[in-house]
Structure 1
Amino acid sequence: MNYIAHIHIGSHTQTNLLGNFLGDFVKGSHLQHLPFEIEQGIRLHRSIDVFTDSHPLIIELRQCFPSNIRRMAGVIIDIYFDYLLMQSWKRYSDTHFNIVFANFYQQLEQFSLPDNAHFNKQAERLKTQQWLNQYVNVESCFRAFTSIEHRLRNKVMFADQAQSFLLLNGDKLESSFQQFYPECLDHGQRFVQDYSLNNNREK
C-alpha cells in the first residue's frame, strides 16, 4: 500500500498516523529508541505490506500486467489504490480526508530524523506542498509514475504503458480493491489488538 492507505489505516486503527507513514523510511528491527506509538505504527505498516504482497488478489493483479512492466506492477497498484481509496473514502471513514491529512501534517511538523536524507526530503515536500489530497484525481497517479520513472537508477520506462493499462483495466483494479481493502483493514485491526496484548513496553 502507498502513503494515503497507510495514513488511512492509522486513522482506522487509531494508531499514530506518522508512524504508519514512516514504515517506508525507517529500516531495521530495533525500534525501541523511538516513541512507542511511532514504533507501533511502523510495525503495523510493515505487517500491512506483507499482508498486501502475499494476498491472492494482489498476486493475480500483478500477473495481469504486461510482462515488460510487470516488475513495476506492485508500485503501480499501490499508487492507483491510493486514488481508489480517495474515490471511495466515505465508504471506509467517517472522518473527511482533509481532517486526517491535517492531523498527519501536524505530526510531521513535530518530528525529525536528522540522519535520514530520504525522509527529510519527502517530509519537506509534504509539508510545503501538502499534495496528498490531490490523489482524488487520477492524473496524480500518472504524474507519480513519471516522477518515479525519472528517479530510478536502473531505467525502466513504465509510466506511459502503466497509464494505458490502467485506463483499459480500471474496472478490474477497482473491483479487486473493493474486495481487498476491507480485508486489509481487518488485518490492521487484528495486528493492533495483538500488538497491544503482547507488547509490554511502557507507553
Structure 2
Amino acid sequence: MNHLAHAYLSFRQPGLLTGNLIADFVKGHKHLSAFPADIQQGIRLHRAIDTFTDQHPVTGKAKLFFRPSCGLYSGVFTDIVYDHFLASDTSRFSNDDLYSFAHYVYSEINRQAAILPPSFLQMFDHMQTYNWLYNYHTTDGISRAIRGVARRAKYLQADGNMVFAVFMEHYNALKMCYEEFFPALQAHAENWLQMENR
C-alpha cells in the first residue's frame, strides 16, 4: 500500500504512524532495534500490510490492468491508485477530514524528525510541501504521483502519461477492486494489532 493507506491504518497512534511511514527506509532487524518499541511495531505493521496486500487475489486482479504497460511496477501503481480511492472514499473522509488528517500526519512526523532516516525525511519534505496525502483525492494529484514514480522507475518502459491513461481507462474497475479489498485489509491490520498487543 501507499502512504495514505499506511497512515490511515495506523489508527491515529503516533508511534504506529511513524513506523508505518518510515518502514521502507528501515532495512532488516538490526536497524529496526534503533527505534522505540511503538515505532518498531509500526514498522512491523507496515510489513504485515504489504504482505497481505501483495498476496491478496483482488490486488492481483488490479495489477493485471497495469501489467501490460508496467510489468514488475504494476504493484507500485496499484498501491498509488488505492490511495486515490481511499482519499476520495466519502465513507472514510470528508474533504475537511482528509485535509485535517494530512496535517495531523505531517505534524506527528515532524515531532519525531530527529530520529528518522535522512532518506525518509528527504521524501517526506516533498510529501509535506506538495501535500501529497490531501491531493491524492484528485485525479490531478494522483496524476502527479504516477508521473513522479514513473520518472524515478529505472526499468519502466512506459512513461507517466501512459500509466495515467491506463488508470483513467480502467478507473471504475480499479475502484471496484479497492472497494472489495480495503475493508479486508483494514480488518487484517486491526486483527494483527490485537494479536501483537496480547
TM-score by length of 2: 0.88
Judge conservation of contact 2:19–2:42 (CA < 8 Å) in 1: yes
What is residue 151 of structure 1 aligned with on the other side? 152
Alignment of 1:24-63 (within 5 A): 24-30=24-30, 31-63=32-64
Judge conservation of contact 2:23–2:47 (CA < 8 Å) in 1: yes
CA distance in 1, matches of 2:151, 2:64: 24
Secondary structure of the residue aligned to 1:24 is: helix
Give 1:7's aligned amino acid: A
What is residue 191 of structure 1 aligned with on the other side? 192
**Structure 1 residue ranges without an equivalent (≥5):** 198-203
How many Å apart are 1:48 and its aligned residue?
A: 0.3
Judge conservation of contact 1:145–1:158 (CA < 8 Å) in 2: no
**Which 4+ runs in 1 deviate beyond 4 A?**
12-15
CA distance in 2, matches of 1:105, 1:184: 23
Query: CA RMSD, aligned part only?
Result: 2.3
What is residue 109 of structure 2 aligned with on the other side? 108
Give 2:168's aligned amino acid: L
CA distance in 1, matches of 2:172, 2:54: 21
Secondary structure of the residue aligned to 1:10 is: coil
How many Å apart are 1:50 and its aligned residue?
A: 0.3
What is residue 64 of structure 1 aligned with on the other side? 65
Identity between Structure 1 and Structure 2 (%): 26
Is residue 6 of structure 1 aligned with residue 17 of structure 2? no
Secondary structure of the residue aligned to 2:35 is: coil
How many Å apart are 1:59 and its aligned residue?
A: 1.0
Bigger shift: 124-133 or 8-17? 8-17
**Structure 2 residue ranges without an equivalent (≥5):** none
CA distance in 2, matches of 1:174, 1:181: 10
How many Å apart are 1:113 and its aligned residue?
A: 6.1
Judge conservation of contact 1:63–1:70 (CA < 8 Å) in 2: no
